[in-house]
Amino acid sequence: MMQDSATSSFSELYSAYAAGRLDPAFALLLETQSMLRPDVRGALAVSEAISGSLLESAEPVQMSAGAGARALDLIDALEAEETPATRAPMHDDELADLPAPLRDPVLDALGAKGWQGTAPGIRRMKLDVGSDLEVELYRIQPGARVPRHTHGGKEFTLVVSGGFSDETGSFGPGDLAVKGPEDTHQPVGDAGEVCFALAVRDAGLRFTGVMGLIQRVLGK
Amino acid sequence: MAQIAAKKCRDSFAVVFDFYAPRVKSYMLRLGANEIEAEDLAQDVMVTVWRKAGMYDRKQASVSTWIFRVARNRRIDKFRQTTRPDLDADEPMLRPPDIEQPEAAFHRVQIEETVRAELVKLPPEQLELLHAAFYEGLSHSEIATKFNLPLGTVKSRIRLAFGRLRGRLDPADGPPDDIERDMT
């Protein structure tokens, strides 16, 4: 049984996120996963509550005289200038169903370079989230095969909807597949619905001696 | 906060400002901003709080947690100093979804209450590490260096503290057992 899996486990990923130091690509991965997974959502909520409580108990440092009044002046000034209409977002019925954190960068990318075909039934789109890492959304049709590939570095793939399977197992919504340079695989879209997956790649990501464990955790 | 959002109440804003601006300033100073930057950032954060007050939902987070988030995002814009994770095998993120955990098991209001109640009870040696991780945003290895502790000690203390804040008085603290069990 895994009744305590999420609670007994914790690492710096969540504190880095809560404190605002997590790389934006991983922050997006984590936020998206939290929309799909109550346990991850819970871990994030606890983490942010910790940060918030610590702010409350921070030793206050006096603001300069009249700071509050100046803030209100600034507010008046900002409200005087009518905020311009926000950009008209791209619309796409299918993508509109993506979890909220993912939707904006995806619709931005759709308006920029858009989808690229990779293989029959496989499309991918590069997302710009302000990270040095490579971030891509995959769209995999049922039965479509992602060409067999290896990885220069580590690749983290989060299934957002639908599912895919490879030699190591099947991955469904909320599952995160981690592949390294030593892995060659050929994911195939599961039957049923179209699979959307978010991939984050980095050649230089380091692991701390737990790679074997990670592989076993994921190799269901 | 509701008064600020609905009625644009300046008195309520003044109360929020007086409490939080000096704390946000303190936060920015701790993260390496100088006096002037910290003051400006605190101002900025409070102006954002006014403008976004309509988005605040007290069922989702305490005011402190929400304002911290605003401050954190300003910090990200300002410092652009990010880190990459050293993923641990026992990350919830890497595990298969725990379908047994009912959604109802976690309510944000309850989470906030538990965190607050348990935070004040933490032994100092756990609290200071939690502070370094969740408030200052240091990685575990940075914390180990700063406090001159073995990395394993840092990880186990933070894990222990985190377990308590999740409302587990007796957190299962041995990931190897858990992991082996979950493998099957």
Which A residues, 185 through 204, put their C-beta within 8 Å of a C-beta on chain B? 202
C-alpha span between B26 and A162 (Å, rounded): 46
Compute the average pLDDT of residues B47-70.
Answer: 88
Q: Which of A59, A70, A175 sits opposite B43 (nearest CB)?
A: A70
Asked whether residue A201 carries a pLDDT value surpassing 90, the answer given is no
Q: Would the pTM count as exceeding 0.90? A: no
Task: Determine the residue among A12, A54, A73, A198 to mutate to test chain B binding: the one whose Cβ has the most chain B Cβ atoms within 10 Å.
Answer: A12
Q: How far is B11 from chain A (nearest CA, A)?
A: 11
B9 touches chain A (CB under 8 A): no
Give the model's pLDDT for residue A18.
92
A5 touches chain B (CB under 8 A): yes
Give the model's pLDDT for residue A173.
93
Of A90-104, A106-120, B79-93, B140-154, highest mean pLDDT: B140-154
Q: Which of B91, B171, B173 sits opposite A11 (nearest CB)?
A: B91
Q: How far is B100 from chain A (nearest CA, A)?
A: 7
A48 touches chain B (CB under 8 A): yes
A51 touches chain B (CB under 8 A): yes
Which B residues, 105 through 144, put their C-beta within 8 Å of a C-beta on chain A? 105-106, 108, 111-112, 115-116, 119, 130-131, 133-137, 139-140
C-alpha span between A68 and A64 (Å, rounded): 9
Residue owning tokens 């039934």: A121
ipTM of the complex: 0.80
Q: Which pLDDT tens digit goes with each residue over B108-134?
A: 888 889 999 999 999 999 999 999 999
